[in-house]
Copies of this chain bind each other. A is one copy, B any other.
Amino acid sequence: MTEIGIGIVGGGYMGKAHSVAMAAVGAVFDTALRPRLEMICASSDASAERYRQSFGFARATSDWRALVADDRVGAVIIATPQKLHREIAEAAFALGKPVMCEKPMGASLADAEAMVKAAEGHVNMVGYNYVRTPATQFARQLLAEGAIGDITWFRAENTEDFLADPDAPATWRTEGMANGCIGDLAPHIFNAALALMGPISKVMAEVETVHHDRPGGKVTNDDHVQMMCRFESGVMGHIYSSRVCTGRKMGYAYEIAGTKGAIRFDQEDQNAIWLYRREGPEATQGFTKILTGPAHPDFEPFCQGPGHGTGYQDQIIIEAKDFLTAIETGQPVWPTFADGLAVARVVDAALRSSQSGTWQDVN
């Protein structure tokens, strides 16, 4: 058993989630490589120190360059605003250090492209954590095995309602493309689409702001986006994402129909996945509600009992395990920076399509 010092840049929502994950992952998965909470970086010395104490790091800094360069920091997790992703990642890779970067990767398509180039030859991973639920990992496995035959239709959504109230005030979330629905929320479900179905060849999208004015200011980014898409496999699909979808809290959902069966999932009940198989007597056919358990990917080490249930934090711990495995073996673990770039290209095509009102190729 060897140890590696972890440095996390950013102490907010995801910085905390990764800190908890690194504290727990060794015991959960009995990893060969063990993380040590070495250094946390935040925007000021005071907040960095606060995060250090709260999350249990050895040291704190307000200078991400110091963190990246530190000898005791063996791997870097980037949990900052998007505009800093590229610079930090490039600095870490320049020193040969493994990097896990939060999604979506970089603040622009150019950033994402540069990051993939910089990552060449280094361990890299992008933080699309939702796809790591045992349910979605199992869905991918079913699809790979051909359990539902040839796919004929794909529909997915990532819908939440945190800005559904038109009277919710303008904040940083309502400014800048990167913080809008297409920049921040939709990438999650684009990534799921790619993970489940393979590459998208072209899209026809609408990116729209529903509430242009909010108390405190103008809204300068979008509230929801829909797109019809065509996968390289030839399959027709539709994806919707919204931050104003009243009633939806974690509408990370997909429905996949095939010639021999179908799969349905909605992350609002993340421990269930629904499988239909057109086989056996018609009288007993239907969607089977499968509760994830020890028979499903990455479930047992964590929860042990069927029906015990995984939660959001568990996905981050699975992610931490995969990052450690990547570091240990030197083999990239999906989703890599290249996968993050693929998402960025879908975002770019969707924006082009929405502006032109025409179908646009994904590069």
Contacts and interface: CB of A to CB of B under 8 A. Distances in A.
Contact of A285 (B257, B268, B290, B305): B290
A27 B1 contact: no
Report which residue of A248, A313, A359 has the largest number of chain B beta carbons within 10 angstroms of its beta carbon.
A313
B272 A247 contact: no
Contact of A290 (B34, B283, B296, B302): B283
Interface string A255-276: 0011111101001111110011
B272 A269 contact: yes
Interface string A213-242: 000000000011010100000001010101
Nearest to A30: B54
Given A30-B54, A228-B206, A246 B261 contact: yes
Interface string A50-86: 0001111000000000000000000000000000000
Interface stretch (A87-95, A152-160, A189-197): A152-160
Contacts of A310: 309, 311-313
Interface residues of A, number: 92
B247 A276 contact: yes
A208 interface: yes
A258 B246 contact: yes
Contacts of A228: 204, 206, 226, 228
Nearest to A297: B283
A236 B227 CA distance: 11
A277 to B, nearest CB: 8
Contacts of A313: 28, 302-303, 310-311, 313-314
Contacts of A288: 284-289
Interface stretch (A12-20, A98-106, A108-116, A344-352): A12-20
7 contacts: A23-B24, A24-B24, A226-B238, A246-B262, A249-B305, A287-B288, A309-B312
Interface of A: 1, 13, 16, 19-20, 23-24, 26-28, 30, 34, 53-56, 138, 148, 152-153, 155, 160-161, 164-166, 204, 206, 208, 210, 223-224, 226, 228, 236, 238, 240, 242, 244-251, 257-262, 264, 267-272, 275-276, 278, 281-291, 293, 295-296, 302-314, 357-359
